[in-house]
């Protein structure tokens, strides 16, 4: 009976050792998982910041292009209006001169 009892003690000790090793391995795996998760979060933040900066730069460039395009269009419209105004100025000057001459005729 004592032999059985000693054998049970050995089995119990071995079970305790296995349980302790399993607990240690689980703790190590959990710690490693936390470290990897922290790395992933840090990488995600860095990636998000880079992507945000790229999007910001792209938006600024597009806004500048749109601004330049609009400026060119406005300059073109201004030149057309100036040309029309110059043509009308000649007619207006002629009309004023004609009107003044007609008033000054005896």
Q: pTM here?
A: 0.52
- DSSP one-letter string for 9-78: HHHHHHHHHHHHHHHHHHHHHHHHHHHHHHHHHHHHHHHHHHHHHHHHHHHHHHHHHHHHHHHHHHHHHH
Tokens of 75: 């300059």
pLDDT at 92: 82
Per-residue pLDDT tens, the chain, 106 aa: give them: 888 899 899 999 999 999 999 999 999 999 999 999 999 999 999 999 999 999 999 999 999 999 999 999 999 999 999 988 888 888 888 888 888 877 776 6
Q: 102 is written with which tokens?
A: 């007609």
Q: How far apart are CA 65 and CA 53, in angstroms?
A: 18
**Domain positions in the chain:** 1-78
pLDDT of res. 41: 97
* pLDDT value, residue 15: 94
């Amino acid at each position: 009976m004592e032999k059985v009892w000693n054998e049970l003690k050995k089995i119990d000790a071995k079970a305790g050792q296995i349980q302790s090793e399993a607990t240690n391995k689980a703790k190590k795996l959990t710690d490693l998982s936390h470290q990897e998760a922290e790395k992933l979060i840090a990488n995600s933040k860095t990636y998000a910041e880079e992507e945000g900066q790229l999007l910001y730069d792209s938006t600024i460039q597009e806004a500048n292009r749109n601004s330049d395009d609009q400026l060119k269009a406005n300059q073109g419209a201004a030149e057309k209006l100036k040309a029309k105004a110059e043509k009308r100025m000649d007619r207006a000057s002629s009309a004023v001169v004609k009107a003044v001459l007609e008033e000054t005729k005896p």
